[in-house]
Protein backbone atom coordinates (compact mmCIF):
# COMPACT_ATOMS: atom_id res chain seq x y z
CA UNK A 1 0.00 0.00 0.00
CA UNK A 2 1.30 3.45 -0.96
CA UNK A 3 1.21 5.44 2.31
CA UNK A 4 0.26 9.11 2.52
CA UNK A 5 1.99 11.00 5.31
CA UNK A 6 -0.10 13.94 6.56
CA UNK A 7 1.37 14.21 10.07
CA UNK A 8 4.26 16.56 9.39
CA UNK A 9 3.56 18.81 12.37
CA UNK A 10 4.29 15.80 14.60
CA UNK A 11 7.51 15.07 12.74
CA UNK A 12 8.86 14.97 9.19
CA UNK A 13 10.86 12.35 7.31
CA UNK A 14 14.61 12.88 7.08
CA UNK A 15 15.52 14.43 3.73
CA UNK A 16 17.95 11.96 2.01
CA UNK A 17 20.31 14.91 1.36
CA UNK A 18 20.36 15.59 5.11
CA UNK A 19 21.20 11.95 5.88
CA UNK A 20 24.00 12.13 3.30
CA UNK A 21 25.44 15.24 4.97
CA UNK A 22 25.26 13.64 8.44
CA UNK A 23 26.72 10.22 7.54
CA UNK A 24 30.49 11.05 7.64
CA UNK A 25 30.09 12.50 11.14
CA UNK A 26 28.96 9.11 12.46
CA UNK A 27 31.72 6.91 11.13
CA UNK A 28 34.54 9.02 9.69
CA UNK A 29 34.68 12.34 11.53
CA UNK A 30 33.67 11.22 15.00
CA UNK A 31 35.96 13.56 16.98
CA UNK A 32 34.83 15.63 19.93
CA UNK A 33 34.48 19.22 18.73
CA UNK A 34 36.52 20.35 21.77
CA UNK A 35 39.54 18.14 20.88
CA UNK A 36 42.61 19.76 19.37
CA UNK A 37 43.52 17.01 16.88
CA UNK A 38 42.39 16.84 13.25
CA UNK A 39 39.29 14.74 14.02
CA UNK A 40 38.22 17.27 16.65
CA UNK A 41 38.92 20.23 14.38
CA UNK A 42 36.82 18.69 11.60
CA UNK A 43 33.89 18.38 14.05
CA UNK A 44 34.42 21.93 15.28
CA UNK A 45 34.40 23.25 11.70
CA UNK A 46 31.23 21.28 10.95
CA UNK A 47 29.51 22.88 13.96
CA UNK A 48 30.71 26.27 12.81
CA UNK A 49 29.23 25.78 9.35
CA UNK A 50 25.90 24.53 10.73
CA UNK A 51 25.80 27.54 13.07
CA UNK A 52 26.34 29.91 10.15
CA UNK A 53 23.59 28.27 8.09
CA UNK A 54 21.16 28.32 11.02
CA UNK A 55 21.90 31.98 11.77
CA UNK A 56 21.54 32.99 8.13
CA UNK A 57 18.07 31.43 7.93
CA UNK A 58 16.72 33.83 10.56
CA UNK A 59 18.89 36.90 9.96
CA UNK A 60 21.06 36.30 13.04
CA UNK A 61 24.80 36.13 13.65
CA UNK A 62 26.47 32.72 14.03
CA UNK A 63 27.51 33.36 17.64
CA UNK A 64 23.87 33.99 18.55
CA UNK A 65 22.95 30.31 17.90
CA UNK A 66 23.01 27.77 20.76
CA UNK A 67 22.47 24.12 19.78
CA UNK A 68 20.20 22.06 22.03
CA UNK A 69 18.41 18.70 22.05
CA UNK A 70 15.21 20.07 20.45
CA UNK A 71 12.32 22.49 20.69
CA UNK A 72 11.43 21.60 24.27
CA UNK A 73 14.92 22.26 25.56
CA UNK A 74 15.20 25.49 23.55
CA UNK A 75 11.92 26.76 25.04
CA UNK A 76 13.10 25.80 28.54
CA UNK A 77 16.47 27.51 28.11
CA UNK A 78 14.80 30.65 26.74
CA UNK A 79 12.12 30.95 29.42
CA UNK A 80 13.84 29.61 32.52
CA UNK A 81 17.12 31.16 31.41
CA UNK A 82 15.63 34.64 30.92
CA UNK A 83 13.47 34.43 34.05
CA UNK A 84 16.26 33.45 36.46
CA UNK A 85 18.85 35.75 34.88
CA UNK A 86 16.56 38.80 35.05
CA UNK A 87 14.74 38.16 38.33
CA UNK A 88 16.35 41.20 39.93
CA UNK A 89 14.48 43.39 37.38
CA UNK A 90 11.05 41.79 37.90
CA UNK A 91 9.15 38.55 38.30
CA UNK A 92 6.37 38.82 35.70
CA UNK A 93 6.14 36.71 32.52
CA UNK A 94 3.45 36.90 29.84
CA UNK A 95 2.51 34.06 27.51
CA UNK A 96 -0.67 32.83 25.78
CA UNK A 97 -3.13 30.06 26.57
CA UNK A 98 -2.43 28.23 23.29
CA UNK A 99 1.32 27.71 23.64
CA UNK A 100 2.89 24.27 23.36
CA UNK A 101 3.33 22.45 26.68
CA UNK A 102 7.09 23.05 26.39
CA UNK A 103 6.24 26.70 27.12
CA UNK A 104 3.16 26.28 29.33
CA UNK A 105 4.70 23.72 31.68
CA UNK A 106 7.92 25.74 31.94
CA UNK A 107 5.82 28.76 32.96
CA UNK A 108 3.93 26.62 35.51
CA UNK A 109 7.25 25.45 36.95
CA UNK A 110 8.35 29.10 37.24
CA UNK A 111 5.10 29.98 39.06
CA UNK A 112 6.22 27.44 41.69
CA UNK A 113 9.53 29.34 41.90
CA UNK A 114 7.80 32.62 42.75
CA UNK A 115 7.30 34.10 39.28
CA UNK A 116 3.92 35.53 38.25
CA UNK A 117 2.61 34.43 34.86
CA UNK A 118 -0.19 36.00 32.80
CA UNK A 119 -1.75 33.63 30.24
CA UNK A 120 -3.31 35.82 27.53
CA UNK A 121 -6.61 34.62 26.09
CA UNK A 122 -6.91 34.35 22.30
CA UNK A 123 -9.78 35.13 19.91
CA UNK A 124 -11.87 32.36 18.25
CA UNK A 125 -9.21 32.04 15.53
CA UNK A 126 -6.41 31.66 18.06
CA UNK A 127 -4.96 35.17 17.65
CA UNK A 128 -3.38 37.11 20.51
CA UNK A 129 -4.73 40.67 20.54
CA UNK A 130 -1.78 43.11 20.74
CA UNK A 131 -3.98 45.44 22.85
CA UNK A 132 -4.40 42.74 25.47
CA UNK A 133 -0.62 42.31 25.60
CA UNK A 134 -0.20 46.08 26.05
CA UNK A 135 -2.67 46.02 28.93
CA UNK A 136 -1.00 43.05 30.59
CA UNK A 137 2.51 44.60 30.59
CA UNK A 138 3.61 45.85 34.02
CA UNK A 139 6.78 47.42 35.38
CA UNK A 140 7.89 43.98 36.55
CA UNK A 141 7.36 42.19 33.20
CA UNK A 142 10.71 40.71 32.19
CA UNK A 143 9.68 38.30 29.42
CA UNK A 144 6.93 37.83 26.83
CA UNK A 145 6.73 34.41 25.14
CA UNK A 146 4.30 34.01 22.23
CA UNK A 147 4.60 31.27 19.60
CA UNK A 148 5.10 32.27 15.96
CA UNK A 149 2.51 29.74 14.77
CA UNK A 150 0.35 27.21 16.56
CA UNK A 151 1.07 23.50 16.15
CA UNK A 152 -2.60 22.40 16.32
CA UNK A 153 -4.65 25.00 14.45
CA UNK A 154 -1.92 26.77 12.49
CA UNK A 155 -2.70 30.35 13.60
CA UNK A 156 0.19 32.71 12.79
CA UNK A 157 0.73 35.52 15.30
CA UNK A 158 1.88 39.03 14.50
CA UNK A 159 5.21 38.51 16.26
CA UNK A 160 6.67 41.78 15.01
CA UNK A 161 3.96 43.82 16.71
CA UNK A 162 3.97 41.68 19.88
CA UNK A 163 7.77 41.84 20.09
CA UNK A 164 7.64 45.62 19.64
CA UNK A 165 5.21 45.93 22.55
CA UNK A 166 7.48 43.81 24.77
CA UNK A 167 10.51 45.92 23.83
CA UNK A 168 8.70 49.25 24.36
CA UNK A 169 8.13 48.15 27.95
CA UNK A 170 11.72 46.93 28.40
CA UNK A 171 10.91 43.19 28.37
CA UNK A 172 12.54 40.39 26.36
CA UNK A 173 10.56 38.70 23.58
CA UNK A 174 10.78 34.94 23.01
CA UNK A 175 9.01 33.08 20.23
CA UNK A 176 8.56 29.34 19.81
CA UNK A 177 9.10 29.04 16.05
CA UNK A 178 9.22 25.24 16.05
CA UNK A 179 6.37 24.95 13.50
CA UNK A 180 7.41 27.97 11.44
CA UNK A 181 10.88 27.30 10.06
CA UNK A 182 10.64 26.98 6.27
CA UNK A 183 7.01 28.11 6.31
CA UNK A 184 7.00 31.65 7.73
CA UNK A 185 9.79 34.04 6.66
CA UNK A 186 11.54 35.21 9.83
CA UNK A 187 14.16 37.84 10.47
CA UNK A 188 14.89 38.16 14.17
CA UNK A 189 15.74 41.85 13.99
CA UNK A 190 12.77 42.90 11.81
CA UNK A 191 10.48 40.77 14.00
CA UNK A 192 11.76 42.20 17.33
CA UNK A 193 12.81 38.76 18.59
CA UNK A 194 15.40 38.23 21.36
CA UNK A 195 15.00 34.48 21.75
CA UNK A 196 13.73 31.99 19.13
CA UNK A 197 13.31 28.22 19.50
CA UNK A 198 13.47 25.70 16.66
CA UNK A 199 13.64 21.92 16.23
CA UNK A 200 15.27 20.09 13.29
CA UNK A 201 12.80 17.21 13.01
CA UNK A 202 9.99 19.58 12.02
CA UNK A 203 11.80 20.58 8.80
CA UNK A 204 13.16 17.26 7.48
CA UNK A 205 16.13 17.18 9.84
CA UNK A 206 16.94 14.60 12.53
CA UNK A 207 15.09 14.18 15.85
CA UNK A 208 16.75 15.18 19.11
CA UNK A 209 18.45 18.36 17.91
CA UNK A 210 17.33 21.96 18.00
CA UNK A 211 18.62 25.48 18.39
CA UNK A 212 17.93 28.62 20.36
CA UNK A 213 18.68 32.04 18.94
CA UNK A 214 19.90 34.28 21.79
CA UNK A 215 20.30 37.93 20.79
CA UNK A 216 23.77 39.28 21.61
CA UNK A 217 23.72 40.95 25.03
CA UNK A 218 20.66 39.01 26.29
CA UNK A 219 20.99 38.00 29.91
CA UNK A 220 20.42 34.23 30.13
CA UNK A 221 21.17 31.66 32.83
CA UNK A 222 21.94 28.08 31.73
CA UNK A 223 19.58 25.22 32.58
CA UNK A 224 22.25 22.53 32.11
CA UNK A 225 25.62 22.94 33.87
CA UNK A 226 28.84 21.14 32.97
CA UNK A 227 31.81 21.58 30.67
CA UNK A 228 30.77 24.96 29.31
CA UNK A 229 30.05 24.08 25.66
CA UNK A 230 27.84 26.42 23.59
CA UNK A 231 29.20 29.55 25.28
CA UNK A 232 28.41 28.04 28.67
CA UNK A 233 24.69 28.06 27.95
CA UNK A 234 24.34 24.38 27.07
CA UNK A 235 27.00 22.09 28.46
CA UNK A 236 27.48 18.56 27.05
CA UNK A 237 29.49 17.22 24.13
CA UNK A 238 27.82 18.51 20.98
CA UNK A 239 25.74 16.12 18.86
CA UNK A 240 27.85 16.76 15.77
CA UNK A 241 25.95 14.56 13.22
CA UNK A 242 22.63 15.93 14.49
CA UNK A 243 23.78 19.54 14.31
CA UNK A 244 25.21 18.99 10.80
CA UNK A 245 21.76 17.57 9.91
CA UNK A 246 20.01 20.62 11.35
CA UNK A 247 22.29 22.93 9.35
CA UNK A 248 21.69 21.05 6.10
CA UNK A 249 17.93 20.78 6.72
CA UNK A 250 17.53 24.50 7.40
CA UNK A 251 19.66 25.37 4.37
CA UNK A 252 17.43 23.19 2.13
CA UNK A 253 14.23 24.58 3.71
CA UNK A 254 15.32 28.14 3.04
CA UNK A 255 16.47 27.44 -0.52
CA UNK A 256 13.08 25.87 -1.36
CA UNK A 257 10.85 28.03 0.83
CA UNK A 258 9.06 30.12 -1.81
CA UNK A 259 8.08 27.17 -4.01
CA UNK A 260 7.30 24.85 -1.12
CA UNK A 261 5.06 27.40 0.64
CA UNK A 262 3.18 27.89 -2.63
CA UNK A 263 2.83 24.14 -3.12
CA UNK A 264 1.73 23.42 0.46
CA UNK A 265 -0.77 26.30 0.34
CA UNK A 266 -2.48 24.95 -2.75
CA UNK A 267 -2.62 21.37 -1.39
CA UNK A 268 -3.93 22.68 1.95
CA UNK A 269 -6.61 24.79 0.26
CA UNK A 270 -7.77 21.86 -1.88
CA UNK A 271 -8.05 19.71 1.27
CA UNK A 272 -9.93 22.42 3.21
CA UNK A 273 -12.39 23.29 0.46
CA UNK A 274 -12.89 19.69 -0.64
CA UNK A 275 -13.57 18.45 2.89
CA UNK A 276 -15.89 21.29 3.91
CA UNK A 277 -17.92 20.89 0.72
CA UNK A 278 -18.21 17.09 0.81
CA UNK A 279 -18.88 16.40 4.51
CA UNK A 280 -21.84 17.75 6.54
CA UNK A 281 -21.45 18.94 10.13
CA UNK A 282 -17.77 19.69 9.61
CA UNK A 283 -15.93 22.90 10.56
CA UNK A 284 -12.43 24.25 10.23
CA UNK A 285 -10.59 24.98 13.50
CA UNK A 286 -8.42 28.08 13.23
CA UNK A 287 -8.49 30.87 10.66
CA UNK A 288 -8.82 30.69 6.87
CA UNK A 289 -6.35 33.56 6.45
CA UNK A 290 -3.16 33.94 8.47
CA UNK A 291 -2.73 30.20 8.89
CA UNK A 292 0.32 27.98 8.39
CA UNK A 293 0.57 26.85 4.77
CA UNK A 294 0.80 23.21 5.89
CA UNK A 295 -2.07 23.02 8.41
CA UNK A 296 -5.72 22.01 8.11
CA UNK A 297 -7.61 21.16 11.30
CA UNK A 298 -11.20 19.92 11.13
CA UNK A 299 -13.94 19.23 13.61
CA UNK A 300 -16.36 16.49 12.54
CA UNK A 301 -19.46 16.31 14.73
CA UNK A 302 -20.72 12.97 16.14
CA UNK A 303 -17.48 10.99 15.86
CA UNK A 304 -14.29 10.41 17.86
CA UNK A 305 -11.03 11.74 16.41
CA UNK A 306 -9.15 8.58 17.45
CA UNK A 307 -11.55 6.35 15.49
CA UNK A 308 -11.13 8.62 12.48
CA UNK A 309 -7.32 8.55 12.67
CA UNK A 310 -7.32 4.73 12.94
CA UNK A 311 -9.79 4.37 10.04
CA UNK A 312 -7.64 6.63 7.85
CA UNK A 313 -4.58 4.65 8.88
CA UNK A 314 -6.23 1.48 7.56
CA UNK A 315 -6.61 3.32 4.24
CA UNK A 316 -2.89 4.19 4.30
CA UNK A 317 -3.26 7.82 5.42
CA UNK A 318 -1.32 9.00 8.49
CA UNK A 319 -2.86 12.07 10.19
CA UNK A 320 -3.49 13.00 13.81
CA UNK A 321 -6.23 14.09 16.18
CA UNK A 322 -4.50 17.25 17.33
CA UNK A 323 -1.01 17.92 18.55
CA UNK A 324 1.37 14.97 18.58
CA UNK A 325 1.88 15.13 22.31
CA UNK A 326 -1.80 15.29 23.22
CA UNK A 327 -2.99 12.68 20.73
CA UNK A 328 -2.27 9.82 23.11
CA UNK A 329 -4.24 11.27 25.99
CA UNK A 330 -7.96 11.79 25.95
CA UNK A 331 -7.96 15.29 27.48
CA UNK A 332 -9.65 17.90 25.32
CA UNK A 333 -6.99 19.96 23.61
CA UNK A 334 -6.16 23.14 25.56
CA UNK A 335 -5.92 24.98 22.24
CA UNK A 336 -9.46 24.05 21.16
CA UNK A 337 -10.74 24.96 24.63
CA UNK A 338 -8.99 28.33 24.35
CA UNK A 339 -10.69 29.14 21.03
CA UNK A 340 -14.07 28.27 22.53
CA UNK A 341 -14.74 24.85 20.98
CA UNK A 342 -17.17 22.95 23.20
CA UNK A 343 -16.03 19.58 24.63
CA UNK A 344 -18.45 17.50 22.57
CA UNK A 345 -17.28 19.23 19.38
CA UNK A 346 -13.60 18.94 20.23
CA UNK A 347 -13.80 15.13 20.20
CA UNK A 348 -13.94 14.63 16.45
CA UNK A 349 -10.84 16.60 15.53
CA UNK A 350 -8.49 15.77 12.68
CA UNK A 351 -5.24 17.59 11.94
CA UNK A 352 -3.81 17.22 8.45
CA UNK A 353 -0.28 18.62 8.31
CA UNK A 354 1.81 18.79 5.15
CA UNK A 355 5.41 19.22 4.14
CA UNK A 356 7.15 20.07 0.90
CA UNK A 357 7.34 16.31 0.20
CA UNK A 358 3.55 16.01 -0.25
CA UNK A 359 1.83 16.11 -3.64
CA UNK A 360 -1.55 17.32 -4.91
CA UNK A 361 -2.71 13.82 -5.90
CA UNK A 362 -2.42 12.85 -2.22
CA UNK A 363 -5.00 15.55 -1.43
CA UNK A 364 -7.29 14.00 -4.06
CA UNK A 365 -6.83 10.54 -2.56
CA UNK A 366 -7.68 11.92 0.89
CA UNK A 367 -10.78 13.65 -0.49
CA UNK A 368 -11.76 10.40 -2.17
CA UNK A 369 -11.93 8.53 1.15
CA UNK A 370 -12.91 11.09 3.80
CA UNK A 371 -16.71 11.33 3.10
CA UNK A 372 -17.09 7.54 3.15
CA UNK A 373 -14.99 7.09 6.32
CA UNK A 374 -16.95 9.80 8.16
CA UNK A 375 -20.30 8.36 7.03
CA UNK A 376 -19.33 4.87 8.23
CA UNK A 377 -18.13 6.13 11.62
CA UNK A 378 -21.27 8.21 12.09
CA UNK A 379 -23.45 5.23 11.24
CA UNK A 380 -22.01 3.29 14.21
CA UNK A 381 -21.53 6.24 16.58
CA UNK A 382 -23.84 6.62 19.59
CA UNK A 383 -23.16 10.37 19.34
CA UNK A 384 -25.11 10.43 16.06
CA UNK A 385 -28.26 10.09 18.22
CA UNK A 386 -27.61 13.72 19.20
CA UNK A 387 -27.97 14.83 15.59
CA UNK A 388 -31.17 16.82 15.11
CA UNK A 389 -33.42 15.23 12.44
CA UNK A 390 -33.37 17.41 9.33
CA UNK A 391 -36.65 19.15 8.60
CA UNK A 392 -38.85 17.74 5.81
CA UNK A 393 -37.53 18.84 2.46
CA UNK A 394 -34.30 20.03 4.11
Nearest-approach distance from CB 64 to ligand PLP, in angstroms: 20
CB of 54 to ligand PLP, least distance (A): 15
Report 246-275 residues binding ligand PLP (CB under 6 A): none
Cβ nearer to ligand PLP, comparing 166 with 212: 212
Which among 16-24, 84-92, 137-145, 175-183 is the span making contact with ligand PLP, rule CB under 6 A?
175-183
- Residue from 178, 249, 336, 341 touching ligand PLP (CB under 6 A): that is 178
Candidates 22, 144, 147, 336: give the one binding ligand PLP (CB under 6 A): 147
d(CA 380, CA 311): 13
The C-alpha atoms of residue 302 and residue 70 are separated, in whole angstroms, by 37
Does residue 199 belong to the site contacting ligand PLP (CB under 6 A)?
Answer: yes
Among 71, 126, 242, 286, binds ligand PLP (CB under 6 A): 71
- x-marked contacts with ligand PLP along 206-245 as a string, rule CB under 6 A: ----x-----------------------------------
70 makes contact with ligand PLP (CB under 6 A): yes
Give, as ranges, the residues between 316 and 335 that touch ligand PLP (CB under 6 A): 324
What is the nearest approach in angstroms of ligand PLP to the Cβ of residue 156?
Answer: 12
Q: How many other C-beta atoms lie within 10 A of the C-beta of residue 169?
A: 17
- 101 to 120, contacts with ligand PLP by CB under 6 A? 102
Size of interface with ligand PLP, in residues (CB under 6 A): 14
**Out of 176, 251, 301, 362, which residue is the one contacting ligand PLP (CB under 6 A)?**
176
What minimum distance in Å lies between the beta carbon of 361 and ligand PLP?
Answer: 27
CB of 306 to ligand PLP, least distance (A): 19
To the query of whether residue 107 is one of the catalytic residues in this protein, the response is: no
**Which of residues 74 and 275 has its CB atom nearest to ligand PLP in the complex?**
74
| 100 contributes a contact to ligand PLP by CB under 6 A | yes
Secondary structure of the chain in HEC code, one letter for each residue: CCCEECECCCCCCCCHHHHHHHCHHHHCCCCCCCCCCHHHHHHHHHHHHHHHHHHHHCCCCHHHEEEECCHHHHHHHHHHHHHHHCCCCCCEEEEECCCCHHHHHHHHHHHHCCCEEEEECCCCCCCCCHHHHHHHCCCCEEEEECCCECCCCCEECCHHHHHHHHHHCCCEEEEECCCCCCCCCCCCCCCCCCEEEEEHHHCCCCCCCEEEEECCCCCCCCCCCCCCCHHHCCCCCCCHHHHHHHHHHHHHHHHCHHHHHHHHHHHHHHHHHHHHHHCCCEEECCCCCCECCCEEEEEECCCCHHHHHHHHHHCCEECECCCCCCCCCCCCCHHHHHCCCCHHHHCCEEEEECCCCCCHHHHHHHHHHHHHHHHHHHHCCHHHHHCCCCCCCC
Q: How far is the CB of 389 from ligand PLP (least distance, A)?
A: 41
Does the footprint of ligand PLP cover residue 72 (CB under 6 A)?
A: yes
Q: Which residues are catalytic?
A: 325
Residues that bind ligand PLP (CB under 6 A): 70-72, 75, 100, 102, 147, 151, 176, 178-179, 199, 210, 324
Amino acid sequence: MQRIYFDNSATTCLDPKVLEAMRPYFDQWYGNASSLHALGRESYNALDEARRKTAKAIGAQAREIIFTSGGTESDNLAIQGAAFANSSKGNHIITSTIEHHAVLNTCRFLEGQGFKVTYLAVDPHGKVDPESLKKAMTKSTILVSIMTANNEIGTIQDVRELGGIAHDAGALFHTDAVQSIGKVPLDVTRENIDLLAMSAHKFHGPKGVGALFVRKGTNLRPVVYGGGQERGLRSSTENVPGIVGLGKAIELSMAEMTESVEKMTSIRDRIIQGTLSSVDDCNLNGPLEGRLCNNANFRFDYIEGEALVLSLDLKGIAASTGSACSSRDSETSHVLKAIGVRNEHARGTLRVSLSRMNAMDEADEFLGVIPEVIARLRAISPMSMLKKPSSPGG
